Structure 1
Amino acid sequence: MRIEEADPKGLVRESYRIEGITLGECKSIFVDWALSLPVDAPMKDALRALIAHYATGAPDHPMSGVMEQGLLAPDTPKRKGGRAARVGLA
């Protein structure tokens, strides 16, 4: 995945440029980044690309840790709706 696809608004790039950024600020930026991805974008692939591009050169940066934690998050479960969710498939 190209870095422009992984960080369409440049939020992660800018977080690495902010001197003295805190963990809390990085978490907030991470949420904004996740919401800016297209719905069908593979988030973990995007995170891997961003980590390879930014975190390897700055392993102690708070955003590096936030992105690593993002990789550990479980995949989003698929929603079952309607009758099938209430009574199961017949």
Structure 2
Amino acid sequence: MKKGDANDPKGLIYESYQIDGITKSECRTIFLDWALSLALDANTGQNIRQMLLKYGADAPAHPMTEVMEEGLKGMAAPQRRGGWKSRTRN
């Protein structure tokens, strides 16, 4: 498999699936680094779906698969507006 592509520029997701005994916590850290390495205009949800198709289908019990699935669910959840933007102004 090729390391690094448009969906995984640094090959971080690929590498996470190669590490024996990797923990979910370590996968979360790698996932965050991966997300931060994407272009600002990238469709993150689509990229996650592509990575799940590419790697997750063959490793459904892998912690990175679980982390990416949680990432997709988190994106689908309604976003809460809080702080000063939600306060009424007089």
TM-score (normalizing by structure 2): 0.79
What's the CA shift for 1:86?
7.4
User: 1:47-86 to 2 correspondence within 5 Å?
Assistant: 47-74=48-75
The one-letter amino acid paired with 2:41 is D
Structure 1 stretches of 4+ moved >2 Å: 74-77
CA deviation map 1:1-34 (0-9, x unaligned): xx71110100000000000000000000000000
Identity %: 46
Higher relative contact order (Cα pairs below 8 Å, separated by 6+ residues): 1
Q: Provide the rounded CA distance (Å) in 2 between the counterparts of 1:86 and 1:45.
A: 36
Coordinate RMSD, CA, aligned = 2.1
Q: Provide the rounded CA distance (Å) in 2 between the counterparts of 1:86 and 1:39.
A: 31
For structure 1, list consecutive stretches of 5 or more residues without a partner in the other structure.
78-84
What's the CA shift for 1:73?
1.4
Q: Provide the rounded CA distance (Å) in 1 between the counterparts of 2:75 and 2:13.
A: 21
Q: 1:28 maps to what in 2?
A: 29
